Each structure stands twice: as structure tokens, then as C-alpha cells.
Structure 1
Amino acid sequence: MSVGMIILGFVIGIIILLILVTIHEFAHFIIAKLAGAYVYEFAIGFGPKLFSWGKKETKYSLRLIPFGGYVYIASELADPPKGREDEVIPEHRKMENIKRWKKMLFIVAGAIMNFFIAVFIFTILFASLGHKPNDMTYWGATYSPQGVAYQAFQGTPNITEVNQEIVILDYWLGTDKTQIEQAALDYNNCLAQGNDNCVDSPGVTVSHLSKNNQIPDYTTTVYNFIDVLKKQYDKNPEHNDAIVFRIRTVNAHQQFSGPLLEPTITSAVAFDQTKGVYTVGIAAPNRIFTSTWQGYSYGWKETFTQSVSILKSFGLLFTGQWGQLSGPVGIAKTMSSILDNGAVPFFLYVAMLSANLFVLNLIPIPPLDGYKFLETAVEGTIISGKKINGRYKMWYYRKDEVKLAQAKIKYEEINPNWHLPNKTKLIINITGAVLFILLFIGITIKDIFF
């Protein structure tokens, strides 16, 4: 890859990340405005201000560091912007005094927007293409013309085209082609007679990918090959093994059909001894959709799948596997390699990023939106508990006028906008922000130098 392509990928990666975060923050901004909050500023990026516009209540700015953005709302926890200290802010428009349900909607608005961006991209792509490219959870494989699998299939009767409809059920390895072909035929004939307890021939290495006549997916297939072929290569110093496949064809409905309705044994094909490793030449297949609706609905499923995947990555923090985590720089580097593969992988990656941002922002750790939502929910629960307790006491003392009057006074003193002490909030949020910044710096250093 050329230096120019790497730089282009880096720039596009940063721009895409900035766009996704800006849309996220814009959703916060719109809900804040609809909720009646006093918004000082809507900023794209962080750090020093490059330029700004707007003369009324809200100013809009573009800042130097393109890794995010923010909505600056009047609050008891934050000082007003420089030069705006004298503005009189109505108390009911400060963040703490906005109705709680509006505040909670404001908090999750950005994450919800990222979710729907991912849904939009996934559903449009899958419905229009009719397939999901490179799906490791689907059956079959894409076979390289230079691979031994392709060569073996090409010489098999009834096969006019080698495509992903061909599924590998089992395979045999050994140095004697005649021996492994006979072992495969014996096993296949045994199964054809309805025998469920067929025994493998001695002296050959065999691996059964299909269990209970189920169609194996690509993940099962490829990891089995990686494991078994490496062991076979290391075991034989001559590296002169051959392979025989037991195959079958499958249609888009995942049913056995086509020219190979019954399992078929291929001829033995020798591995290429010059590669230094045994490979069969397979890659992930396309997940085929039989209708536009199926592609559309799978787009929703893919959004949820990619959303949850970020939780697995986040869990790597607690196992010390930092190498698999990526920040903005890592995303930009990945974008460089994806640009060579065309528009579809590019947009799929953008959708994956947006789905990741959806869940990442909902993790209940300060200063993420998930923590703010949890904090607001806890405050609301405490207030609701006080009100329920107050109503119960008024009912309990309904026949005692003095105690009933006291209970009513206490009930009316309950502040519907009560919140956790500001000092507590500041300590929690500042601590979380510092840790988050340190994590960001650490991942960025890893992405650049390692």
C-alpha cells in the first residue's frame, strides 16, 4: 500500500469518526432544545476554537481536535463560558431542573441516533445487494482457484462451477493418495447404508466437520483446517501429504440440493510444498438472502450483533489484552486497508463503528452517557420512593388529623428536582474523565507505535 493511500485512509477515517460523533452530539442538541434547556454552545471537536458563529443564545463552533464534540448546557455543575458570566439564566432552563424524563431522553438521544445510522446502512446494503459479504457465520466458502480445494472440486463429476454452494463435510489427509481415497469412499458408503456408527480407516488423518448431518459454518471449517493442517504439516517432515474431501451442494435455503444431492468424494490432491504450510485456499462466503425483506431484517440483526461486539472488546481491558483495542488512530489505520476493497466494505465498517458507538456510550461508566442515565435514574428512583412513602403515611394517618397534616407538609416539601450532591457528582465525573483520557492516550500510543 502506498504512503498516499495510507494518508488518505487516515484522513477519511478521522472524518468518518468526526461525522458519526457530530451526528451523535447533534441528537443531544436537538433534544436539549426541545426540552427547553439553555444551550450555550454546540461544538464540533475539542480544544482551541478555530471559528464560531451565532449571535443569539446558542453559538456554534469548530474546534482543533477532531475527536468528538459536545453540547454546552447551563448547569449548576459548570461555570458559564468566558464572556457570558453576566447572562441571566432562568432556573427552570438549567440542566438540573429539566423534567427528569426529558433529561433521560436527552442523555440517550446520541446513542439512539448512532443505532439508527447503523440500521440504515446495514439494511440498505443487505437489501440492495442480496447478500452480506464475507460472513464467517454462514455455511460454505469462497474457493481460491489456486487452492487444493478448488482443484479437487473441479475434477469432480457433476460440478460445472466451483462456488460457495459446495460445502466440505469431511476430509482425509495422508501421503498415499490411493489409501486416503479408499478410506473416504469406505466411510461414505458406510453412511449411505444408514449406519450411524461408521469407523474411520486406520493410518490416515480424518476430520469430520459435519455433525449429525448438519451443515458446518465457515468459522467451524476454517479453524478446523488451521488446527489440523498445522499438526499434519509438523508431523510429516517430508511435507508430501495429499487431501481428499467429502462434499455436498447446498442451496440458499440451507438445504442439500443441486448436482451433488448426495455426498461425493473428490480425488486426492497434493498440497503445494513450496508454501511452508498446508492451506486449502478458502475465504469467508457471502450470506445469501432469498428476498429483499430477509436482507432488510438481517440488517437489524447485524446492528445488534455489532453493538454487542464492543462489550467483548471492552472486556479486554480487564484481561490485559490491549493489543486488540483500537482508538481513533487505529480506526484510521484500518480505514486505510479497507479503502482498497471498494465501497461496500467501507460502508459496512462505518455501520459497525456507529453500532459500536451506540453501545459504548451506554456503558454506565463516567463520563459516558450510560453513567449519566444511571445517575438520573437513581435520582428519579429516590424521589419516587420518597413520594410513595409520603403517600403511604398520609393514607396511614388518614384518621389522625394532626399526624395527617404533618405527613402532608413533609410530602409537599419533597423536591421533585432533587439530585445527588454536586460535590459528589463532580468527584465522580472528574475521576472518570481523567481515567478515560488516560485510557484514550494509552490506546492512541499503542495504535501509533505498536
Structure 2
Amino acid sequence: MLAILAPIIVFGLVIFVHELGHFIAAKLTGVYAPRFSIGFGPALWRHRRGETEYVLAALPLGGYVRMASRHDAETAFIEGGGEGEGEALKPGQPGYDPEAMLPFGPKPVPESRWFESKSLAARLFIMIAGVTMNILLAFVVLTVLALTYGEPVIGTRVVGAVHPLATAPALAQLQPGDTILAVNGTPVRTWSEIAERIDAAGAGTLTLRTNRGELSMPVGTPGAPTTAQVIGAVDFFIAPVIGDVLPGSPARRAGLAVGDTIVTIDNRPVQSWSQLQERVTPSAGTDLPFQVRRGGRLVSMTIRPESTSQKDPATGTMRAVGKIGAAAADPTTRQPIGVGDAIVAGARGTWVTAGKIVGTVRGLLTREVSVRQLGGPIAITRASVAAAQSGLESLFFLIALLSVNVAVLNLLPIPILDGGQILLNVAESVKGSPFSARTRENILRFGLVAILLIFVMSTFNDVVMGFRDLVAKLFG
């Protein structure tokens, strides 16, 4: 049952919280808000309380808070009805209230209750409130998850792979299979502690003691790598066990399954996830024979990695690499933490997630990330169902992830999104007068077309991935 309801829970909660932010801010600033809607199109359920009508609409792909505005006619074509006199209820119609303002009664909306009558600061407060609530939702969810399930800890101290850094030749002394025992003289017990100690080194000398000896290198100084670059250049050991297979990926089409242990690739033994990456990365478009252990028996299959553009961690340049669309089994364990640490973990998780989404958007704009990787409502639905099947932790983590996505993407300067509306209001304030009704309508239509194009593109990607999965199941 949870899997069936998961998409509604995920979509509904994230959208509800976003629109609730706008609604609360509108109420606090005295803007008349006659409608609070989750979804667009025909109403499936509606209920009026006070001066606001609450609506659950047929298309749960968004939502809106309708506010009194002199530009009501320009937005009516998007939201499905205005609040002007032409849309007002008439005496005898269900819901008509002779003491209410439009559209529920005959009384006009005072200009002081219009959105435009408020100061620029108040308008910006209303428009940024939805994004703020989404960030707050993600922070609260991640904090509660950290407090309930503990903080993820990477328990190993064994090096899985070392990526060369031109600015750190001493790093070449570190070899796969080495065990890091101390960082700058401080003993470490987990990879999480190793990363924390390296990061805390700041500028100066970084010393790593391993089971084979000791190496030192300058960090954080001119000509030397940053501590973040050092952390990124050294991978911890991960067993070559499959933890996830992406829908529509080469791995899924070939029959690779969660729990499979990779034994050989191209007839060469594989003992770590880093070795798997070393075999797959340079083999885009090439058939690779895989042998995996599944339930005590060996299974053979052929996988052709797909070419994907990716930034080289050592040089920073873009290059084509092979990807099979599979992820390693989670190597982390859980460590109980207190309330204070959970709050820090929630804030850090929210910040890191937002940074990754911003990076993805930047990658799409610079073509470092392919538009084929965009997922739409079908992908979110499938992810919701899969997360619900994995348990409540996965489901709520997806809610936090999607909430941050909504926050970041809503800040894009596309007219019908919050970022576009903020830009439009600031532009009018600088101009000293509002844009004409025709100009605003054209701007909104442009924004609507842009959103529809993104929606169509992401949905097309979803359908293609689903079709590939279906073909793989039918024909192997």
C-alpha cells in the first residue's frame, strides 16, 4: 500500500509545503489569497474556510496560491480562472456569500489587499517563502533521519584507488590496498575520520601514515592541492557488489541485478569497485563480457557501456567515459548521534544536496551534463515506488532530495517560476513603473512554453527508459 501511495505522498508533501510558504507569507503581509490549490486543472475537491478556498486539482504536477492582483487576467490562463467580476459567483450559486469579497461574493477587493500594493520587500518575502519552506522541509527531514537512523560512517580505512594529481606527486606513494592508520599524527578508525582530518589540515603539510610507511605533501598553499582535491583523489575500498541498477541502463538491459558480485570483466579478475571502474570507463561503445556471482552460481552476460561526458577529477576537462548505469552496494554503517550532531548533519546534507543540484543545472547549461539525464514525473513516480519498497528512510530521503530540487529549480529566472517573478518585480521596481498587461502576458506565455518544453523533454526521457526496460524484459 505504501508503494502505491508513495508518488502521491512525495509529490503532495513537497508541493503542499512550497505553496504553504507562499500562503503564510501572503497572509502575514495582508495580501488577499482567495485560493490555495494543490495541482492544476479541474477541482477534485474544494472547501472554503474564511476568505480562502482550498482546492485539490486533477493534475498534481504543481500548485499555486491565488492572490489578489491587478494582473489577474494575465495569469488566469495558467491557473484556471480569475478573481475578477467576470468570475464572481452569482446569488443562488453554491458557495455564494453576500458578505464576502470576490469571487465568493459581491464586495470588491480593496486595492490595499492587492499583491502590487505591497512594498518590494514584502513582495520578495512572499515569492521567496515557498523556496524557503522547501529548504526547511529538507533540513527537518534530514535532521530527523539522522537522529532516528544515525549518521552514515564509512568503516574501512583501506585505499581502493588513487587518482594522480599533478600538484601532489607524493600521492603516488599511496597504493590500492594500503591501510591509512593516522592523519597528521592523529590515529583514525574510519574513512569518515580520514576525510575529516584531511579537511581539517587547512594550509600546511599533510602527513599520512599507512601500514607501509609515511608520506607527506604540502596542501592549501600556492602550487599545492587543496584538501578537498586530496580527498577526491583517493577512493576508499568498495567491494564489487551491485547495490542499484538504473532503469533503462546498459546494466539493466543486460540483466545485471542488485546483489550480484562482479567476478571478472573482459576475462580479467575484479576485486574492487575501483577496478570495475577502470575496466568500464575507457570502454564506451565496446561489448564487455561480465561474469558475476549470483546466489552461489556464476552468470555470464555482455554489457556495452554508454558514452557519457564527465569532468576529469585530475585535469578538470570534459571527457567521454563509459557508464553501465550501476551503483555499488552501500558501504556505510550507522552510528548513533545526539540532537546537536543531527542538526549539523541535516544542515550539511541540505547544503551539499543543493550544491549538487546547482552543479547539475550549471552542467546542463554548459553541456557538461546531457539533457538525456533529465528525469520527469514518470521517473519521480518510479523512484517514489522504489524508495517506498526500500523502506521509510529511503522514501523520506527522496522527499528531502525532491524538496531541495524544487527549491533550487524554482529560483531559475523563468517567468512563471519564483525566480522569474522575483526578477520581474525587481525589474519593474528599477524601471519605476509596471510593465504593460500585454508585455506581462507575453512574458508569462514565454515562461509557460519553456516549462512545457522541459516537461516534454524529461517525459520523453522517461518513456525511452521505460521502453528500453520493457524490451530488455521481453527479449533479454
TM range (shorter): 0.5 to 0.7
Q: Which amino acid aligns with 2:148?
A: S
- Compared with structure 1, are the counterparts of its residues 316 and 223 closer, same or farther at alpha carbon in structure 2 (3 Å cutoff)? farther
The structure richer in strand per residue is 2
C-alpha distance in 2 between matches for 1:355 and 1:317: 18
Report whether the alignment pairs 1:68 with 2:62: yes
Aligned match for 1:100, one of 109, 120, 123: 120
Q: Which amino acid aligns with 1:305?
A: V
Of the two, which has the highest radius of gyration?
A: 1
Match of 1:429 in 2: 444
Report whether the alignment pairs 1:119 with 2:139: yes
Match of 2:186 in 1: none
- Compared with structure 1, are the counterparts of its residues 78 and 285 closer, same or farther at alpha carbon in structure 2 (3 Å cutoff)? same
Contact residue 151 and residue 345 of structure 2 kept, 8 A: no
C-alpha distance after superposition, 1:408-427 (max 9, x if no partner): xxxxxxxxxx3333332221
C-alpha distance in 2 between matches for 1:287 and 1:293: 17
Compute the RMSD of aligned alpha carbons.
4.2
In structure 2, the residue corresponding to 1:88 is in which secondary structure? coil
Listed as ranges, the gaps of 5+ residues in structure 2 are 74-81, 90-102, 161-176, 178-188, 195-209, 218-226, 242-260, 275-291, 302-325, 466-476
Match of 2:129 in 1: 109
C-alpha distance after superposition, 1:310-369 (max 9, x if no partner): 223334544372332222221110122222322212211111111221212122222110
Shift of 1:304: 1.1
Report whether the alignment pairs 1:33 with 2:27: yes
Shift of 1:48: 0.8
Aligned match for 1:304, one of 351, 354, 358: 351
- Compared with structure 1, are the counterparts of its residues 276 and 370 closer, same or farther at alpha carbon in structure 2 (3 Å cutoff)? same
C-alpha distance in 1 between matches for 2:450 and 2:386: 31
Report whether the alignment pairs 1:15 with 2:35: no
Shift of 1:52: 2.0
C-alpha distance after superposition, 1:95-136 (max 9, x if no partner): 222222111100011111111111111112213333137x7x
Contact residue 42 and residue 71 of structure 1 kept, 8 A: yes
Report whether the alignment pairs 1:378 with 2:432: no
C-alpha distance in 1 between matches for 2:131 and 2:20: 11
- Compared with structure 1, are the counterparts of its residues 87 and 440 closer, same or farther at alpha carbon in structure 2 (3 Å cutoff)? farther
Shift of 1:240: 6.3
Q: Give % identity.
A: 26
Structure 1, 298-307 or 85-94: larger mean CA deviation: 85-94
C-alpha distance in 2 between matches for 1:131 and 1:218: 24
Q: Greater RCO between the two (CA within 8 Å, min separation 6)?
A: 1
Listed as ranges, the gaps of 5+ residues in structure 1 are 144-152, 154-163, 170-187, 198-211, 246-270, 384-417
Aligned match for 1:448, one of 463, 466, 472: 463
**TM score, norm. by length of structure 1:** 0.60
C-alpha distance in 2 between matches for 1:340 and 1:284: 20
Structure 1, 81-90 or 372-381: larger mean CA deviation: 81-90
Contact residue 146 and residue 342 of structure 2 kept, 8 A: yes
C-alpha distance in 2 between matches for 1:306 and 1:41: 32
- Compared with structure 1, are the counterparts of its residues 240 and 113 closer, same or farther at alpha carbon in structure 2 (3 Å cutoff)? closer
C-alpha distance in 2 between matches for 1:317 and 1:376: 27
Structure 1, 32-41 or 419-428: larger mean CA deviation: 419-428
Aligned match for 2:407, one of 344, 354, 358: 358
The structure richer in helix per residue is 1
Contact residue 414 and residue 450 of structure 2 kept, 8 A: no
Work out the number of aligned pairs and report it. Answer: 318
